[in-house]
Structure 1
């Protein structure tokens, strides 16, 4: 929270600095007479405004660098997740003993393509694609596309959910039966 107020403070200093320079130029251009400030005060204001703008540039550069690092980290995580998903697909396709054609059809189906789109991409008839999707569903033990996709989502989430549930479940379950004195 303090970082947010710091950034707001720097932005306020920048806004005041820009206002100082712009108002000075605007007054000169419009011929508005302002009572002159002592030169020492004016010099201090100009130095302060310049330092405020330079400080803002430095902070902006630091924030931009941090954002770029965070973006690169997010892209790397997405790349890893994508690779993990493809590994999971290959593993399941192998377990189900899908043929190469069925693997293609399954991948297109998981991507959300319609039967006609898959048939067009594979240069086969829609009947062939329907037969292949039925074989895929039978081998996977599901009844349709939503359940097929659900299998992969469940697999991807299983480790995270299990890790989160285990500590809570262990705390809720008593250690063992207690002996009651008769």
Structure 2
């Protein structure tokens, strides 16, 4: 029986114990079934029900702790991936010798903002943003936003951890 089977078994035991406790209370309160049961047997049944409920409580606590640990690990991996992506962006931007303005435009472009949105955020005209994006694409050796983004995705997806060399800009020949 695997982990999932054990969890189901404990939940079934807990459900049976809860049914026993509720039935016992209802039978005493409403008087449905109160046949004679030896007090030792009754005490053992109540102890079994309490043990089952405690077992369920322990399982719930264990699963909660495990879930919180997995969530924390996932958050840490996401934090590392975000940091690695920013490091990769900065490394590429340095290699391409982007100006501070071009870096901002490239970052906004990679984030998916439109030319109009970038223009509004930077307080410049859309023509200026278009000129800067064209300069970025030329320096990166790509023809558009999707190719620019794919450079970073390919680097992040590499299995060996090494960074792929950047293509030479189109006008560097």
> Which band: TM-score by shorter chain?
0.7 to 0.9
Does the CA-based 8 Å contact 2:14-2:52 persist in structure 1? yes
Deviation of 1:160 after TM superposition, in Å, equals 4.7
Deviation of 1:161 after TM superposition, in Å, equals 8.8
- Specify every segment of 5 or more residues in structure 2 that has no aligned partner in the other structure, as ranges: 163-173
Does the CA-based 8 Å contact 2:89-2:152 persist in structure 1? yes
1:79-128, Cα deviation, whole Å (9 max, x unpaired): 11111100000000001110000000100110111111111111111111
Does the CA-based 8 Å contact 2:28-2:34 persist in structure 1? no
Deviation of 1:34 after TM superposition, in Å, equals 3.2
Partner residue in 2 for 1:3: 3
- Provide TM-score, normalisation by structure 2: 0.88
- Specify every segment of 5 or more residues in structure 1 that has no aligned partner in the other structure, as ranges: 163-182
Give the superposed CA RMSD: 1.6
Give aligned pairs, total. 162
Partner residue in 2 for 1:100: 100
- Provide TM-score, normalisation by structure 1: 0.84
Deviation of 1:71 after TM superposition, in Å, equals 1.2
1:53-101, Cα deviation, whole Å (9 max, x unpaired): 1111112111211111111111111111111100000000001110000
SS of the aligned residue for 1:159 comes to coil
Partner residue in 2 for 1:159: 159
Deviation of 1:152 after TM superposition, in Å, equals 0.1
Find out whether 1:128 has 2:128 as its counterpart.
yes
